[in-house]
Amino acid sequence: IEIDSFLDGFLLGLSAGVGSETATFVMALAISVEMGFVGVTYGSSFHQMSLRRSISPLVAAPLTLFGGTLIGYLTSNSVVTFPLFYVGLLSFGSAALLYLVCEDLLIEAHNAGEERVREVLKEHATKGTSSDECLAKIKAAVTVQEQWFEDIWFFVGFLIALLTG
C-alpha cells in the first residue's frame, strides 16, 4: 500500500510541478477515487486489531502519499530541463502504477484456489468422500502457482508500450 501511495503521490507532484492544471486535476481526481477504495479495503483489514497496533500502518499510507507528492513536486523543477528523462520518469511511474493495480488483481485471481479448497472440504464433510479423493481434489485446486517471471514480463510490457507510444 505504501509503495502505491508513494508512486501515486510522486506522479501527482510531478504533474503539479510541471504546471499542467488539467492533468493535475484529472490525476488528483483519479487518485482520490482509487485511494478511497484502497483505504476502505486496507482499513477493513485492521478491524480485528487493537487501535494501538493498527494506528501506525493506517496513518503511514496517507503520509506516504503526501511525502511522494512533495518529492515529486520538488523533483519536477529539475526534471523539466531534461525532457527525455521527464518522459521516461512519467512512463516508468505510470507503468509501475498499472503494474501495482494489476498485481493486486492477479493476487486476487490466484486466491480463487482457496475458495475451491473450501468447497472440496465442505463436500468431503457433507458427502463423506474418501480422504484420498479429497486430497486429490485439493491438490488439483491448488496447482496454480504464481510465477515471478510472469509478473515481470507484465511490467516490462507496460513499460515498453508507454515508452514507445
| Residue 59: all three cell numbers together | 496513518
| Residue 42: all three cell numbers together | 486496507
129's CB contacts (< 8 A; 6+ apart) are 123
Higher local confidence (pLDDT), 58 or 165: 58
- In this prediction, residue 64 carries a pLDDT of 93
- In this prediction, residue 52 carries a pLDDT of 84
Distances, alpha carbon 112 to alpha carbons 79, 102, 118, 123, in Å: 43, 16, 10, 17
- In this prediction, residue 139 carries a pLDDT of 73
- In angstroms, the CA 93 to CA 27 distance is 13
- Contact, 142 vs 110, CB < 8 A? no
Q: Is the pLDDT of residue 151 over 70?
A: no
Read off the pLDDT band of 105 (50, 70, 90). Answer: low
pTM of the model: 0.58
Q: What is the mean pLDDT of residues 118-143?
A: 74
Q: What angle do CA 79, 165, 19 make, to 5 degrees?
A: 35
Read off the pLDDT band of 143 (50, 70, 90). Answer: low
- In this prediction, residue 71 carries a pLDDT of 92
Read off the pLDDT band of 66 (50, 70, 90). Answer: very high
Backbone CA torsion sign across 81, 82, 83, 85: negative
Q: Is the pLDDT of residue 161 over 90?
A: no
| Residue 114: all three cell numbers together | 482457496
SS3 string, 22-91, reads HHHHHHHHHHHHHHHHHHHHHHHCCCCCCHHHHHHHHHHHHHHHHHHHHHHHHHHHHHCCCHHHHHHHHH
Mean pLDDT over each residue of the chain, to the nearest integer: 77
